[in-house]
Amino acid sequence: MTQFTLHDAPLRPAEERASVLSDLGFGAQFSDRMAVADWTAADGWHDRRIVAYGPFELDPAAAVFHYAQEAFEGLKAYAHADGSIWRFRADVNAERFRRSCRRLGLPELSAADFLASVDELVAAERDWVPTGAEQSLYLRPFMFARSPILAVKPSTSVTYAVIASPSGAYFGGSGVAPVDIWFTRDYSRAAPGGTGFAKCGGNYAASMVAQQEAEANGCSQVGFVDAVEHRFVEELGGMNLFAVTSDGTVVTPELTDTILEGVTRSAVLQLARDAGLSVEERRLELTELVDGIDSGLFTEVFACGTAAIITPVGTLKDADGAHVVGDGRPGATTLALRQRLTDIQYGLAEDTHGWMHRIV
Ligand SMILES: *Cc1c(COP(=O)(O)O)cnc(C)c1O
């Protein structure tokens, strides 16, 4: 039984689709259709539909433009060798989306609606799921406030939508090429009591200038420490961070309300335990991390998230200097965890945790 009504939409011909799929970056191409639903305080959720991908018409006073009342998610649909298409732990995304929306004063979308929007869009757009190595159909569910009123209060009218983007590697290249990270001292991403645990555009808006600072310092990503003491490692602008010790202990900052709980982060913790590694979720001081990198105590550092999967960190930099991790090349534990995760996602290894769900 479908929940989102499939409307007619102009579809690009197969040759055009093939040409788009032959040259994929990340998040730059979109499929022909999108899922949409509307909510008003008076009527609740209604008009669930799958329609042609295209612009929204919004009042210039719409609350999202002024007060950034918005939340989003990110997940992928994976093609397996037999032609079937699967999603990975989307129920966890559905729950996180509810938490994010609650924090942003947005209405909650049920997990059933969230999963139906994803499954029914992917089923309609299955020809857009790329089949190359480490390619996927990246899905971006999002919700935004559209009440046309400048008074500051939660919107009584919102739209939820899912767009689908056939994608390759987030950082280009092979996907395992190390990235350099800049730890900023000037900017904070999230403060206690704020929105750090919610996946919302506002957190990203606050990270852009820090990202520019990172790029000005020759790094492709920015790392943040806590906003109170400016001592403890939190995460990157859009990825969680891990370090591995020379004796194979996997360390990641413990969750607080200033850290986004990644679906990839918790999968990595589980896969590390499965591999017999010790796992520590704890406070990690930036000085402990850089001193440990310099002394050889921390031999590997990696970032993880749905888009970037697991990406090794080659060099960690801050205002005091650069710290090359190990020999600057991807470490063995990083690569093994990455292989295990992608093998499960692409149907090449047994899914012992029930993380995968077949869509079509
Ligand atoms: C989305 C996101 C992550 C990674 O989460 P996944 O569920 O693994 O994709 C990490 N940090 C931030 C700030 C994020 O927005």
Q: Is the CB of 264 under 6 A from ligand 1?
A: yes
pLDDT above 70 for 221 = yes
pLDDT above 70 for 245 = yes
Q: Convert the pLDDT of each residue in 224-240 to its tens digit.
A: 999 999 999 999 999 99
Q: Convert the pLDDT of each residue in 257-283 to its tens digit.
A: 999 999 999 999 999 999 999 999 999
Q: Convert the pLDDT of each residue in 57-67 to its tens digit.
A: 999 999 999 99
Residue of the CA atom closest to atom 13 of ligand 1: 238
Separation CA 264–CA 89 (nearest Å): 9
190 and 332 co-located in one domain: yes
Residue 350 falls inside a structural domain: no
One-letter amino acid for residue 227 of the chain: A
| Per-residue tokens: 258 | 């200033």
Of 167, 190, 219, the one marking the end of a domain is 167
Alpha-carbon dihedral of residues 175, 176, 182, 188, nearest 10 degrees?
Answer: 60
CATH number at residue 136: 3.30.470.10
Residue 173: predicted pLDDT: 62
Q: Residue 96 CA: which ligand 1 atom is closest? A: 7
Measured in Å, residue 288 CA sits from the centre of ligand 1 at: 24
| Per-residue tokens: 91 | 């129920």
Residue 175: predicted pLDDT: 62
pTM: 0.97
Q: Convert the pLDDT of each residue in 115-157 to its tens digit.
A: 999 999 999 999 999 999 999 999 999 999 999 999 999 999 9
Q: Which domain range does residue 91 map to?
A: 5-167
- Per the DSSP assignment, residues forming a β-bridge with 35 are 50, 162
Close Cβ partners of 4 (under 8 Å, ≥ 6 residues apart): 35, 37, 48, 49, 50, 116, 117, 120, 121
Measured in Å, residue 150 CA sits from the centre of ligand 1 at: 31
Q: Is the CB of 240 under 6 A from ligand 1?
A: yes
Of 134, 167, 200, the one marking the end of a domain is 167
Q: Is the CB of 199 under 6 A from ligand 1?
A: yes
Residue 174: predicted pLDDT: 62
pLDDT above 80 for 68 = yes
Q: How confident is the model at residue 2 (pLDDT cuts 50, 70, 90)?
A: confident
